[in-house]
């Protein structure tokens, strides 16, 4: 007896259309029916058989074709276009953008290949285990816990960076206040410098005025001296008595007293001007020193403020990058988790379907075994009938395999949908009959034997065979 069984394999891809293929096997008696395969592209794959065993590995799908801008393939216009430079620049930018997208796509494909290899390794390790239950839930839970730990770490880093940012902002505010205070002090010092400079200018003008007055007085004294000497010479030429001598003494005394008063007054004014000029010069030098020191402090504070601004910008960029990476990691994990859950659900459905098919095949096998046993009993009964001289025997059989067929009185063969088998010999009798029927409502096998002689019922018996 030969059995022809048609098996079907399904291939489901998340990134492409579903593919269906069927294969037919022909096996002889005792041959094992091959298993069907199920694969899912882009995630872990499963291969189910009659025994409920998983197997297989995932494979990456083909790279999606890159879209080409057809405007770049158009022929060049030989006419001079005033906007040709802008068009070329735009085309270069488009090419750069496409290259960047292609590079990022290649990186993503490589990353997915690495993830796929990692999942294949994990799946092969799970296959090598001799346990009947799948550890996919534990693996998913550990993977989710790992992602949660990474998310918590990123959250802690974010809080830490936010605290550092707050500290930096406080330092920036302090330095800003100090800078404003220094600016106010500088303004006050500049105002004081202007006032001191005004006083110095006034003192200098007073000095110049006093020097001019001193020169005037000196010229006047010299003129009076010359006049006095001239008068003395005239008087000496005219008068030579004691009165002239007395007058001369009086004039000399007056002149000496006037000269001493003028010299003392000039000396006092000169000393006052020198002391005032020295005092203002010291104040001016001290003010210049303070102003230069303030300028250096202002430059240093400005440099520190710029450095703190750069640190703040880098910290804000790091925080934004960390938030973006955390969100991308969470989205990627959720997407992978949903894909793996869908694959697991599909595998469970496929496993249930395979089990149903296996149960149906076992039912078919049981029905075939029962039929073979029935034919064996028929052959044995026919041989015993021929030996004992029986004339007629009728056997009725009912099964629940879901197929319908019949057996003629000549026992020529049996046909059923999906199965092809037959017996090599036939039997016949004068007036006896034998029939075989199958229904889908019951699961018991009833063998009924009826013996007749010369058209009369001799004996009738029925046996119920276990399924």
Q: By the 8 A CB rule, do 333 and 147 touch?
A: yes
Give SS3 for 433: coil
Is the predicted pLDDT of residue 443 greater than 70, yes or no?
A: no
Query: Torsion angle, CA of 151/152/157/160, rounded to 10 degrees?
Result: 150
Across 28-143, where does the E strand assignment appear? Answer: 38-41
Task: Tell me how many degrees the CA angle 133-134-136 measures, rounded to the nearest 5.
Answer: 155
DSSP secondary-structure letter at 50? T
**Both structure tokens of 19:** 């593919």
pLDDT for res 63 = 57
Percent of the chain at pLDDT > 90 equals: 3
Query: For residue 218, how many other CB atoms are within 10 A of its CB?
Result: 13
| Mean pLDDT, residues 265-273 taken together | 81
| Residue for token pair 């041989």 | 383
Sequence-distant (≥ 6) Cβ neighbours of residue 108 within 8 angstroms: none
pLDDT(271) > 60: yes
Give the Cα separation of 378 and 166 in Å (integer).
97
Cα-based distances in Å from 307 to 178, 249, 313, 320, 321: 16, 86, 10, 20, 21
Q: How far is CA 28 from the centre of its chain?
A: 57
pLDDT at 131: 53
- Check whether 377 has a pLDDT greater than 70: yes
Cross-sheet strand order for the sheet of 445-453: 394-396, 445-453, 456-465
Q: How many other CB atoms are found less than 10 A from the CB of residue 92?
A: 10
Q: Please name the residue that has the structure tokens 């004294």.
A: 221
pLDDT digit string, tens, across residues 312-354: 888 888 888 888 888 888 888 888 888 888 888 998 999 999 9
The CA distances from residue 145 to 136, 138, 139, in Å, are 14, 10, 10
DSSP class of residue 65 equals P
What Cα–Cα distance (Å) separates residue 359 from each residue in 256, 353, 363? 152, 10, 6
Cα 8 from chain centre: 41
For the chain, give the mean pLDDT. Answer: 70
Rounded mean pLDDT, 108-115? 88
Q: Which fold has domain 160-320?
A: Helix Hairpins (1.10.287)
Is the model more confident about 255 or about 445?
A: 255
The pLDDT assigned to 280 comes to 74
pLDDT (average), residues 76-104 = 74
> What b-and-e string marks burial along 427-458, b requiring 16 or more CB atoms within 10 Å of the CB?
bebeebebebebeeeeeebebebbbbeeeeee
Angle at which helices 136-238 and 242-388 cross, to 10°: 170
pLDDT at 239: 63
- Residue 357 is predicted with a pLDDT of 92
What is the per-residue pLDDT for 292?
84
- Residue in the block written with tokens 């300028």: 295
Q: Does the pLDDT of residue 435 top 60, yes or no?
A: no
Beta strands at 394-396 and 445-453: parallel, antiparallel or unpaired = antiparallel
Instruction: Using the predicted structure, report yes or no on whether residue 392 has a pLDDT greater than 50.
Output: no
CATH 1.10.287 maps onto the chain at 160-320
- Short-list 41, 34, 27, CA closest to 8: 34
Most confident range (mean pLDDT) of 121-130, 160-169, 252-261, 363-372 is 363-372
Q: Which of 39-53, 217-231, 247-261 has the lowest mean pLDDT?
A: 39-53
Please tell me the least confidently modeled range out of 60-74, 78-92, 393-407.
393-407
Reduced to 3 states (helix: H, G, I; strand: E, B; else coil), residue 107 is helix
Query: What does the pLDDT average to over 451-455?
Result: 67
Closest CA to 416 of 377, 462, 363: 363
Distances (CA, A) of 109 to 53, 60, 115, 165: 31, 9, 10, 37
pTM: 0.24
CA angle 193–195–201, rounded 5-degree value: 100
SS3 content of the chain, % helix, strand, coil (to 5): 65, 10, 25
- 3-class secondary-structure state, position 79: coil
Quick check: 36 and 52 in contact, CB under 8 A?
Answer: no
Between CA 461 and CA 355 the distance in angstroms is: 38
């Amino acid at each position: 007896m030969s059995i022809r069984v048609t098996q079907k394999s399904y291939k489901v891809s998340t990134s492409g259309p579903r593919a269906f293929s069927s294969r037919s096997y022909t096996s002889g008696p005792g041959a094992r029916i091959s298993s069907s395969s199920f694969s899912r592209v882009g995630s872990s794959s499963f291969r189910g058989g009659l025994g409920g065993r998983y197997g297989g590995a995932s494979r990456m799908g083909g790279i999606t074709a890159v879209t080409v801008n057809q405007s770049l393939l158009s022929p060049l216009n030989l006419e001079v276009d005033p906007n040709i430079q802008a068009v070329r620049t735009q085309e270069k930018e488009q090419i750069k953008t496409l290259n960047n997208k292609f590079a990022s796509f290649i990186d993503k494909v490589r990353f997915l290949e690495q993830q796929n290899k990692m999942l294949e390794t994990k799946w092969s390790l799970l296959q090598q285990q001799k346990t009947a239950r799948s550890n996919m839930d534990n693996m998913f839970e550990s993977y989710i816990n790992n992602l949660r730990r990474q998310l918590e770490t990123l959250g802690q880093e974010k809080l830490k960076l936010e605290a550092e940012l707050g500290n930096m902002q406080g330092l920036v505010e302090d330095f800003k206040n100090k800078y404003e205070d220094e600016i106010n002090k500088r303004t006050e010092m500049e105002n004081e410098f202007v006032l001191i400079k005004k006083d110095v200018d006034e003192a200098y003008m007073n000095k110049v005025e006093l020097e001019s007055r001193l020169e005037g007085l000196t010229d006047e004294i010299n003129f009076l001296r010359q006049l006095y000497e001239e008068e003395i010479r005239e008087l000496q030429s005219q008068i030579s008595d004691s009165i002239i001598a007395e007058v001369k003494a009086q004039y000399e005394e007056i002149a000496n007293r006037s000269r001493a008063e003028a010299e003392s007054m000039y000396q006092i004014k000169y000393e006052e001007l020198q002391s005032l000029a020295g005092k203002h010069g010291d104040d001016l030098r001290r003010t210049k020193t303070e102003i230069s020191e303030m300028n250096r402090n202002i430059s240093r504070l400005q440099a520190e403020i710029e450095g703190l601004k750069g640190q703040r910008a880098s910290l804000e960029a790091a925080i934004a990058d960390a938030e973006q990476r955390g969100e991308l990691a969470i989205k990627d994990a959720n997407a992978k988790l949903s894909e793996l859950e869908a694959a697991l659900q599909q595998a469970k459905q496929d496993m249930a379907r395979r089990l149903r098919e296996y149960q149906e095949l076992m039912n078919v096998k049981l029905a075939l075994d029962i039929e073979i046993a029935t034919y064996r009993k028929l052959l044995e009964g026919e041989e015993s009938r021929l030996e004992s001289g029986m004339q007629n025997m009728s056997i009725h059989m009912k099964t629940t395999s879901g197929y319908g067929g019949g057996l003629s009185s000549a026992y020529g063969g049996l046909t059923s949908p999906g199965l092809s088998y037959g017996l090599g010999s036939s039997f016949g009798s004068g007036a006896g009959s034998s029939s075989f029927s199958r229904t889908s409502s019951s699961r018991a096998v009833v063998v009924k034997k009826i013996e007749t002689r010369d058209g009369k019922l001799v004996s009738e018996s029925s046996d119920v065979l276990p399924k």
